[in-house]
Amino acid sequence: GESVGLHLPTLSVQEGDNSIINCAYSNSASDYFIWYKQESGKGPQFIIDIRSNMDKRQGQRVTVLLNKTVKHLSLQIAATQPGDSAVYFCAELTGGGNKLTFGTGTQLKVEL
Amino acid sequence: DVKVTQSSRYLVKRTGEKVFLECVQDMDHENMFWYRQDPGLGLRLIYFSYDVKMKEKGDIPEGYSVSREKKERFSLILESASTNQTSMYLCASTTYGATNEKLFFGSGTQLSVL
């Protein structure tokens, strides 16, 4: 079956370092991907998205990379801050579909 | 900013009770969704709705029903709560468009069924 998954359940980084959170997807028909951030006690919040006709997209301190050849998505956070500590989810939307499929999430812990 | 409000942050119910989870959004969004979130399983779609009085089953609709009588309100109903429905429930909304699939989430309702 189709699935969206994350390689690592927990990622610990030092404050100021760059973080890379990975996501694998198996549905080659997926054409839209989103990263969400969920802080403790809150609902997920949109971070950045990317369509399948792009390889890279940059936001403020965040970059999403899409490698369609190996069906891999990554979220890069530059100069990680304590406020970045959260669970990060990737989600995919298949062409013509009206709902997103979420991965299981990666817990990012920022160490001071 | 879009606001999605879930009526309860924490809820404790007994097995067999009928449970209503309410969600209201203030941005006139057409689409509304109910997810449950469990550790290690991520977010799983229960039901969604594209318009008033419309509903569609998601991936795990068993044991749940929904109601959308008004555009801004989407209710999740557990007809007879069971312990395996203990979970975090998240409501979300979005406007439908070719370039905007971003979901706006509420803060969630942590339901415990004893």
- What confidence tens digit (pLDDT) does each residue in A63-73 have? 999 999 999 99
**Chain B residue whose CA is closest to A39:** B107
CB pairs under 8 A between A and B: 46
Q: What per-residue confidence (pLDDT) applies to A95?
A: 56
Helix, strand, or coil (residue B14)? coil
Q: List strand residue ranges (DSSP E) for A39-79, in order.
A: 45-51, 56-58, 62-67, 72-77
Residues of A with CB under 8 A from a CB of B: 9, 32, 34, 41-46, 49, 89, 93, 98-100, 102-105
Q: Smallest Cβ distance to A46: which of B41, B102, B106?
A: B102
Residue A19 has pLDDT above 50, yes or no: yes
Q: Distance (Å, rounded) from C-alpha B35 to C-alpha A92? A: 15
Residue A62 has pLDDT above 60, yes or no: yes
Averaged over A32-44, what is the pLDDT?
Answer: 92
Q: What per-residue confidence (pLDDT) applies to B101?
A: 64
Q: Is the Cβ–Cβ distance between B104 and B24 less than 8 Å?
A: no
Q: What per-residue confidence (pLDDT) applies to B73?
A: 97
Q: Smallest Cβ distance to B107: which of A43, A99, A104?
A: A43
Averaged over A28-54, what is the pLDDT?
Answer: 91
Q: Distance (Å, rounded) from C-alpha A23 to C-alpha A44? A: 17
Buried b (16+ CB within 10 A) or exposed e, A66-92: beeeebebbbbbeebeeebbbbbbbbb
B16 vs chain A: nearest CA distance in angstroms? 27
What is the residue-level pLDDT of chain B in tens, covering all 114 positions?
Answer: 668 999 899 999 999 999 999 999 998 998 899 999 988 788 999 999 988 999 999 999 999 999 999 999 999 999 999 999 999 999 999 887 644 567 899 999 999 999
Mean pLDDT of chain A: 87
